[in-house]
Amino acid sequence: MIAEFVSFAAPAGSTREDIVNGALDTVARWQANPELVRKHYLVSQDNSQLMGLYIWPSIEAAKRGHDAEWISQTEARLGGKVSIAYYDLFMLLDNAAGSLTQYPA
């Protein structure tokens, strides 16, 4: 499994409500992506930075989800650079579900 962190600056002066409403506009796109396992929507305490934590089955799936067209459109829409980092998700502890899952390399 791959954890992908996608971050970028929020539009200047954004409120939490603005950010939530903007994020809601993206839900259908991500629900329609059969490769996406999970997405967490995150915002900094001062509403200046946005981040998505995505869980994918592979780095190839992550790169298909955030291809050059998506990056270009997002940077044009928000007026800033998108930063993407990938990590090997080797284990997941879920206290709410009472589970521990290990993923093979």
Give 35-92 pLDDT, tens digit per residue.
Answer: 999 999 999 999 999 999 999 999 999 999 999 999 999 999 888 999 999 999 999 9
Residues whose CB falls within 8 Å of the CB of residue 79, separated by 6 or more in sequence, listed in order? 11
Which pLDDT score is estimated for 3? 98
| Helical segments of the chain, H only | 16-24, 27-31, 59-65, 68-78
The residue behind tokens 């190839």 is 60
Confidence (pTM) = 0.93
Which pLDDT score is estimated for 79? 84
Range of the domain at 45: 2-102
Looking at the 3D structure of the chain, how many domains does it have? 1
Residue 52: closest CA among 105, 10, 101, 96: 10
Which pLDDT score is estimated for 85? 98
Give 13-40 pLDDT, tens digit per residue.
Answer: 999 999 999 999 999 999 999 999 999 9
CATH number assigned to the domain comprising residue 60: 3.30.70.100
* 71, 43, 19, 33: CA torsion to nearest 10: 50
Which pLDDT score is estimated for 44? 97
Which pLDDT score is estimated for 77? 85
